Amino acid sequence: MDAPPSPNHVFNFPEVEFDKDPQEEPKEEFEEDPEEDFEAEAEDDVPLPATPPGKKRMDKMEQDLGDEMQFSNMVEHRVTDLENREQERDAEMVKVKKHLGTLEANYSLILSDRDGWRK
């Protein structure tokens, strides 16, 4: 009843097997020049120039402008949708009123015919 290992199972292989790869090329050992090392560290320590405050303000203004444009477009889209729905509702009301007028006319004809038969 050996069940297959779960996908989360971690195999514990001895590390000796993974110490050296026979296909791996041996690393060349060389002495580092202390002056080069110092220069590299000095280059890393140089602070990056700060972004001028005017540039930051412009970026923020552009972002705000983009947000405002997006909001404006969204509001305009909603207003357009509401106007379209309103027009559809108005057209539907006109149809309903016409139908109601037809029903009233038919009903009055039926009543007049009924009254005519009674006499």
Sequence spans of domains, the chain? 66-119
61-75: average pLDDT: 81
pLDDT computed for residue 63 by the predictor: 72
If one counts every other C-beta atom within 10 angstroms of the C-beta of residue 32, the result is 8
Amino acid symbol at 97: K
**What are the C-alpha distances in Å from 29 to residues 21, 26, 77?**
18, 9, 68
Between CA 101 and CA 118 the distance in angstroms is 26
Pick from 58-67, 74-83, 86-95: least confident: 58-67
Between CA 14 and CA 24 the distance in angstroms is 19
